[in-house]
Structure 1
C-alpha cells in the first residue's frame, strides 16, 4: 500500500472532492483519481461514493480513512523521531564501565555529556572489564571500557595507557624501591581484584611468564579496601599508576612494576561491524576530545 495514495485519499476526503484535493497535493485531477482507484483496487472495496463533483465515504471508506490518518501520523512521528536521534535530541547510551579507573577517567565526562545532550538516557552497567566484554558481545550494551589487548571481535578506541605499580606497606623492606620485579615479589602474598577484572589477567600472565604462581591471600572489588589491606602488611597489591596516585595513602608506598608488557591500556570497545547509535558515537567523540587533553604526567612512554 503506497503512502502517497493514502495521503491523496485523505486529502480527497478532507477537501470533499478530487479537483479541490488536486490543488492541495499539487497534482492533476486525473492523477488524484488514479491514486484513489489504485487504493480501491488494492483493497478490493469502493471507498468513495462519487456524486457529481462531490464525494462521500462508503462504510469501508470510513474505516480506511480513520486508519489512514493514524498510519500517516505514525509515519510523521517515525520520521521526526529518527531525525531527533540524528540530532541527538533523543536516544539512549548503553554503556559498561569497570570500577577500576572509571571515577577518574569517565565520571567527569558524564556532566559534559549531559550538558550537551540533555535528552539522551544513559544506561550504565558496572562490572569488571572481562565481564563487560561478555555483556557487550551478547548485545546487552553498545559500548564498554576494557583493557587491551582483548580477545574477541571488537573494535577499540584507546583512552589511556598507564604503567602498573606495586602497592606495598610503608613498612615493607621493598617500600623504598622505585621499581620492583616479579622476582622481588614472588615470595610475598598477592592481593588481587575479584574474578572478572582484567588487571588480574595482566598480573597473573606476567607471573606465569616468570615461571611461578603467586599465593593469593585476598580478593576484593573495592580499590580503597585493597589499599588498606596492603597498608596493613597483608601482601602486595597492583594498580595503574594513575589510580594509585589518585588514592594516596600514608600507609603504603608504590614502586613501578619493571616487567615487560606491564601496562594498563584502557579503551572504549564495541562489537566489530555493529551499528553504533549517534548517542554512542557522541560518547566516543567526547572521550577522545577530553582525554587527549589530559596531562601526560603518569603516562608511560
Structure 2
C-alpha cells in the first residue's frame, strides 16, 4: 500500500468527492479516481459508495479511513524526526493562522522566526478556527491559532485576550451610548457575521442564545475590511476584538464597547495533545511566548 494512494483516499473522504479532492491535492479528477480505484483493487473490496450527491464510506472504507489517518500522521512524524537530526538549520513548520488578528498578533512572530531560522520552510495555511482545528486534528498542520475554548484533544498556550466592540453606523441609535452595551441591547439590529467556520460567530450566537434570541443575519463575509464598511454603511452591527478594530478601521464607524460575559476574544496556539511536536513548532512557541501580550 502506497502512502500516496492512501493520502488521496483520505482527501476524497474529507472533501466529500473526487472533484473537491482534486483541488486539494493539485491533481486531475481522473488521477484521483484512478488512485482510489488502485487502493480498492489492492485491498480487494470497495471503499466508497459513489452517487450523484457525492461519496460515502463503506464499512471497509471506514476502517481504512480511520487507520489511514493514523498511518499518515505517523509517517509525517517519522519524516519530521529524521529531518530534525540536522537541527533547525533546516526543517518544516506547518502552521495555521486565522484571518482575524494574524497581522496584529503573528506577523512579528513570523518575522523574528524567519530571522532566527532562515533554513526552516514555513507552510502557512489561512482559514477560520473551525477549519484549522480540523486540519490540526488530521495532523496536516503542527500548530494552529484558534479561539478558546477548545476541545480537550488539544493542548494550548494563550496568545492574547481582548474584549469585543460593536461596530455600527455613526448615526445608529446606540452609536453614542455613554457606556458599554450588551447583546440584548442589539437584538433589534441585524447582525453582520463572518463566514461559517469562524469561531467568533459561535461566541456571538451563544451569547445571543443566553439572552433568549436568535439574531437576524443580514450579511456574512470572510473579509474584515468589507465587514467594517458594511457596518459603517448602516447595514447592521458587526463585532471585532478591540485590538483589531482599532488597527483596521479606516472609515467613519462607531465602536461601542461590549459588556458581555464569556465573549472575550481569547486567542491561543494549539497542538494535538499527546502528539509529537516538531522542533520547528517548539521554536515558534518559544518566540511567541517571549513577546509581550
State TM-score, norm by structure 2.
0.70
The 3-state SS of whatever aligns with 2:100 is: helix
Question: In 1, distance between residues paired with 2:233 and 2:83?
Answer: 56
1:171 partnered with 2:171: yes
The 3-state SS of whatever aligns with 2:144 is: strand
The 3-state SS of whatever aligns with 1:187 is: coil
- 1:189 is displaced (CA, Å) by 0.1
Instruction: Give the 3 Å change call, closer, same or farther, for CA 81–251 of structure 1 in structure 2.
Output: closer
Question: In 2, distance between residues paired with 1:242 and 1:140?
Answer: 30
Within-5 A mapping of 1:1-301: 82-85=84-87, 88-177=88-177, 178-290=179-291, 293-294=292-293
Question: In 1, distance between residues paired with 2:229 and 2:175?
Answer: 15
Instruction: State the Cα deviation string for residues 2-33 of structure 1 (Å, max 9, x = none).
Output: xxxxxxxxxxxxxxxxxxxxxxxxxxxxxxxx
Which residue in 2 is equivalent to 1:39? none
Which ranges of structure 1 fall in alignment gaps of 5 or more residues? 1-77, 295-301
Q: Is the 8 A contact 2:156 2:270 kept in 1?
A: yes
Question: In 1, distance between residues paired with 2:136 and 2:204?
Answer: 24
Which residue in 2 is equivalent to 1:40? none
Question: In 2, distance between residues paired with 1:245 and 1:153?
Answer: 34
Question: In 2, distance between residues paired with 1:224 and 1:82?
Answer: 40
Instruction: Give the 3 Å change call, closer, same or farther, for CA 116–234 of structure 1 in structure 2.
Output: same
Instruction: Give the 3 Å change call, closer, same or farther, for CA 79–287 of structure 1 in structure 2.
Output: closer
Which residue in 1 is equivalent to 2:27? none
Which ranges of structure 2 fall in alignment gaps of 5 or more residues? 1-79
The structure 1 segments of at least 4 consecutive aligned residues displaced by more than 6 Å after TM superposition are none
State TM-score, norm by structure 1.
0.69
Give aligned pairs, total: 213
Instruction: Give the 3 Å change call, closer, same or farther, for CA 143–79 of structure 1 in structure 2.
Output: closer
- Alpha-carbon RMSD: 1.6
